[in-house]
Copies of this chain bind each other. A is one copy, B any other.
Amino acid sequence: MRSFSIVFAALTLAAAFVEAGTDVRREIRLPEVPGYRLVRYDPHMHTVFSDGQVWPTHRVDEAWRDGMDALSITEHIEHRPHLRDIPADHNRSYQVALPRAKALGLMLIRGAEITRPLPAGHYNAVFLDDAAPLATPRFEDAARAAVSQGAFVFWNHPGYPHPDGVARWYQVQTRLLQAGHLHGIEIVNGRRYYPGAHRWCLEKKLTMLGSSDLHLPRQVDDNLDDGRRPWTLVFAEGRGMEAIKRALFARRTVVVGADGRLFGEKKYLSPLFERSIEIVQPQPVPRNRSWTYIQIRNRTSLRFDLALDPPAHLQAPARVNIPPERIVRIPVRCARSSSGETRAASVPVTITNMRVDPEHGLGEKISIQAACARGPSTPAR
């Protein structure tokens, strides 16, 4: 027996080094928005404790690397394909992951996924105290068990598992909403965006969420495009998990898709854009028809796709994409030679990848210094 205890002493050392490597985090840079702390939250993912393929601490490591501030591991209550090998209770995955989250300074918010056949579908409950009571035959009882703990409940991937991928609102959702047991909907899950659910959130005053729903390791998960993770940007008032919870119930979220689209209300999208970009113009646009360059600096990890609608006296490209943490230059010139004085021209732009509803991008304006005469223009060509 003594030889065995020696074995394990040596192994503890070895294992410690395996666990304790250096690692790299890529922060998600966001602007300062007065009055709020912006929290990067991924509220939906799985491990080997339900139908995922990785150990719970690995989800914490992935979230840390990806710049998240908060995450929820949400094992299926009803779907446990590894149950024969992993017969743990419904809170175990959280317990395994928690020390790693604390050591890394991440907020791990306890959650679980209620996983029922249509017409109910799948729902995450987050801010749980105990996931066990959700394992109950009737769906309504499971939702009630979550809400009775003060949990925030949202409908996951509402177009799945419909074969056509289209979200449908049934009576069960109406009952849930009326009972106060439904607080939000995933309008983005992995690579999929659900425009119908986006509309429901606006109409029914539900919180918009986006999540990765990871099952495989993040780099190879086939629910993601190129392994990029969607997430929920939470406008918290103050620090800590309680502030996140209050913000979720108050619908203060913007959803960030894996493809860089942003979905939310104008009051949240607008400051994100305005405080992310800065216009730099080395020279005013001259009277003659030479090109000059407007430079737009994007200080953040967000992308902005602009559709420009320049006034008749200015020529500029119709579409410009501004990648994260880059400066883009936009060629501008007068539509005709003229004798104008340099003054500011206001150019309406639509940020086409910031969606205030499924059909409309965010409208803004940018200002350009130009000496172009504003009178009736002869055609530029």
Which residues of B have CB within 8 Å of A290?
99, 103
Shortest CB–CB separation between residue A300 and chain B, in angstroms? Answer: 12
Q: Report the bound CA distance from A14 to B79 in whole Å.
A: 10
A9 to chain B, nearest CB (A): 7
Across-interface contacts of A357 in B (CB, < 8 A): none
Stretch at the interface among A36-44, A49-57, A255-263, A339-347: A49-57
Asked whether any CB of chain B lies closer than 8 Å to the CB of A376, the reply is no
Q: Is A367 close to B, CB under 8 A? A: no
**Which residue of B has the minimal Cβ distance to A280?**
B105
- Chain B residues with CB under 8 Å of A297's CB are 27
Most buried by B among A85, A118, A160, A215: A85
* A350 CB to nearest B CB, Å: 17
CB neighbours of A166 from chain B (8 A): none
The answer to whether B217 touches A293, judged by C-beta atoms less than 8 angstroms apart, is: no
A79 CA to B11 CA, complexed, in Å: 7
Asked whether any CB of chain B lies closer than 8 Å to the CB of A175, the reply is no
Is B102 a contact partner of A283 (Cβ separation < 8 A)?
Answer: yes
Could you say which residues of chain B place their CB within 8 Å of the CB of A375? none
Does the CB pair A78–B8 fall under 8 Å? yes
Choose one: B64, B96, B163; the contact of A85 (CB below 8 Å).
Answer: B96
A78: nearest chain-B partner, CB-CB: B7
A326 interface residue per 8 A CB criterion: yes
Q: Which of A21-64 contact B (CB under 8 A)?
A: 21-27, 48-49, 51-55, 57-58, 64
Instruction: Give complex CA distance A117, B8 in Å.
Output: 8
Complex: how many Å from CA A222 to CA B58?
Answer: 13
Smallest CB-CB separation from A332: which chain B residue?
A: B20
Residues of B within 8 A of A320 (CB): 22
Chain A positions within 8 Å of B, measured between CB atoms, are 1, 3-4, 6-11, 13-16, 18-27, 48-49, 51-55, 57-58, 64-65, 76, 78-79, 81-82, 85-86, 88, 92, 96, 99, 102-105, 115-118, 137-139, 160-161, 163, 215-217, 219-220, 222, 280, 282-283, 290-293, 295, 297, 317, 320, 323, 325-331, 333, 381
New A-B contacts (6) at CB < 8 Å, excluding given A25-B295, A103-B292: A7-B116, A10-B118, A16-B291, A18-B215, A20-B333, A86-B86
